[in-house]
Amino acid sequence: MRALPFLAWLAIVALSANASAEPILIHNPDLQGEDFSTRSLVKVYAMQKRVWSDGTAVRVFVMPDDSETHRQFVADYLRMQPYQLNRLWHRLVFSGTGTRPREVNSVKEMIEQVRNTPGAIGYIDSADAGAVDAAMKTGSDHE
């Protein structure tokens, strides 16, 4: 009987150790003073906002759908589920009114694309935040 509480505790510790850190929004260093509120980000990631306030075209980069960082970003920042976002993108593509964001396959690629593409926005896991310049980070102020 004593083994059961210990096993339960061990399972909780193991699961919490595997939990990923919070995603953070990153953007091209030239995008300063933009609105990164949840409302604005939903428009950006739904591909409804096409230009930033300075006239630069919005370029959206995302991680693959099966990425935990992607799922957590969509839930935390956009307040929706990934399938809902995919549904919006499919509607744009199939209606001919837009395209889906550019998908990258690694944190390194995400950082490079966002850093080197004018008007770019993306996200990474906060555990990887040390790899980006301070000018690219917006932190987690996504309320």
Percent of the chain with pLDDT strictly greater than 90: 73
110-127: b (≥16 Cβ within 10 Å) or e: bbebbbeeebbbbbbbbe
CATH class belonging to 21-139:
alpha beta
Q: Which two tokens stand for residue 74?
A: 């969509």
Each domain of the chain, given as residue ranges in start order, spans 21-139
Whether the CB-CB separation of 132 and 26 falls below 8 Å is answered with: yes
pLDDT of residue 47: 95
Compute the mean pLDDT over every residue in the chain, rounded to the nearest whole number: 86
pLDDT over 90 (residue 21): no
Between the CA of residue 44 and those of 28, 47, 67, what are the distances in Å? Answer: 14, 5, 20
pLDDT of residue 137: 82
Percent of the chain with pLDDT strictly greater than 70: 81
